[in-house]
Amino acid sequence: MTVTRTASTFAPPVMEARRWLEGVTFPADRPLINVSQAAPVDPPPDALRQAMADAALTRDDAHLYGPVLGMPALRAGLSDQINRHYGATTTADNVAITSGCNQAFAAAIATLCDEGDEVILPTPWYFNHKMWLDMAGVRSVPLTTNADMLPDVEAAKVLITDRTRAIALVTPNNPAGVEYPDALVLKFYALARSHGLALIVDETYRDFDSRSGAPHALFQQDGWADTFIHLYSFSKAYRLTGHRVGALVTSPARLSEAEKFLDTVAICPGQIGQYAALWGLEHLGQWVAGERDEILARRKAISDGFSVLADKGWTLKGLGAYFAYMQHPFELSSAQLAQKLVQEAGILCLPGTMFWPDDAPQGHQELRIAFANLDAAGIDALYTRLSALSL
């Protein structure tokens, strides 16, 4: 029997990890610490929820099909925000609204790749990018990162073949958290441009970048849209994860091709989610700034308290956005360790093996901790439980 590409693709890691909870009970004095998924668990602020309710009650078009590439006002609003944040000169014609950022990636790949083509992904990679490439029949070419969890341009150059179509970066990075320096991103842009490749940059977590101002100058490059493809998500900024609102920013010509993909997959993004994102753009700038301050405070708590784990042989390999990426000191593979943590420490996290090729040894020593939903007390409890492990 033929095995389809989907059948041979690994199971969704977050869903796989949730299955480890089946049949496990957590005592009241040691509740589950869930650091497995990088998504806000709180709902949007009340004012945004009210705006969504108003749209549902008063806007007939909120319940109808909309334009495939998204609501014109939201496309224009995001373009304006990008121009202010990056010093760019985009227009609404450069922006498509998608049903989440993962769909934006899938749409970009649909415009770039045929079966058997290749996309270079730094490792550890974002597993949903790898999953989509597998299902699309596109080969993921791993690009190992250095000790600072940063990819090397010269190493990437060696990997380019006549089937390479794109290099895909995520910054701030998922899973490692690191923020790619502007100069490094520009070097990747120059490499991609010189070889006629696309540079896809997933900036889902840009609202929580510790750097003030634009994190890179890609939008300021002449002819940027011929090479650079920007991906964005409203999910984290406005807590709209369940409403699936993302964006793909590129040339109008590429968007006309992406429109074919988007029309056949979802027809259009959800209307109420789009109204929410637009209201957020217009009213929640200060609120998002406060959310960023809180995430940066939690990041500092991760860093400041890490000595308790360092003393036990742990290493903090990457930190930023929603993520702490750690190397554990145990002989046990992280694939087994992560499951043991549920039973023995009441912690649900993802093993590094979910972010590396099957034959890569690095993932066996690594864990991803998505800390954004932990306050200072939660981070302290996490460290207390991890430092008490004896395996």
Partnered with residue 201 across adjacent β-strands are 169, 230
CA distance 364 to 323: 18
Residues 258 and 352 in one domain: no
Residues 280 and 209 in one domain: yes
Which segments of the chain are extended strands (E)? 33-34, 95-98, 118-123, 139-144, 164-170, 198-202, 228-233, 246-249, 315-320, 323-327, 347-348, 350-351, 366-370
Q: Decide: residue 25, CB within 10 A, 0-12 exposed, 13-18 middle, 19+ buried.
A: exposed
Tokens of 121: 């992904």
Find out whether 363 and 334 touch, Cβ atoms under 8 Å.
yes
Choose the final residue of a domain: 242, 266, 284. 284
Residues 104 and 232 in one domain: yes
Residues 328 and 351 in one domain: yes
When the pLDDT of each residue in the chain is averaged and rounded to a whole number, the result is: 96
Tell me the pLDDT band of 1, cut-offs 50, 70 and 90: low
Residues 6+ apart with CB under 8 A from 315: 326, 327
| Domain annotation covers residue 216 | yes
At 323, which CATH number?
A: 3.90.1150.10
- pTM summary value: 0.95
| Domain annotation covers residue 92 | yes
Number of domains in the chain: 2
CA distance 293 to 101: 23
Q: Quick one: which of 256, 280, 227 has its CA closest to 96?
A: 256
CA distance 5 to 355: 19
At 242, which CATH number?
A: 3.40.640.10
Find out whether 343 and 391 touch, Cβ atoms under 8 Å.
no
Q: Quick one: which of 326, 361, 370 has its CA closest to 142?
A: 361
Residues 336 and 200 in one domain: no
Instruction: Check pLDDT > 80 for residue 391.
Output: no
Residues 103 and 132 in one domain: yes
Tokens of 74: 């939201």
For range 3-15, the mean pLDDT: 90
Question: What does the pLDDT look like over 103-122, one tens digit per residue?
Answer: 999 999 999 999 999 999 99
Residues 259 and 324 in one domain: no
Question: What does the pLDDT look like over 33-71, one tens digit per residue?
Answer: 999 988 888 899 999 999 999 999 999 999 999 999 999
Instruction: Check pLDDT > 90 for residue 2.
Output: no
Question: What does the pLDDT look like over 172-195, one tens digit per residue?
Answer: 999 999 999 999 999 999 999 999
Question: What does the pLDDT look like over 112-165, one tens digit per residue?
Answer: 999 999 999 999 999 999 999 999 999 999 999 999 999 999 999 999 999 999
Tell me the pLDDT band of 390, cut-offs 50, 70 and 90: confident
Choose the final residue of a domain: 259, 284, 309. 284
Instruction: Check pLDDT > 90 for residue 363.
Output: yes
Residues 167 and 134 in one domain: yes
Give me the residue label for tokens 């597993």. 127
| Residue 39: per-residue pLDDT | 83
Tell me which residue range forms the domain holding 204: 46-284
Of all residues in the chain, what percent carry a pLDDT higher than 90? 95
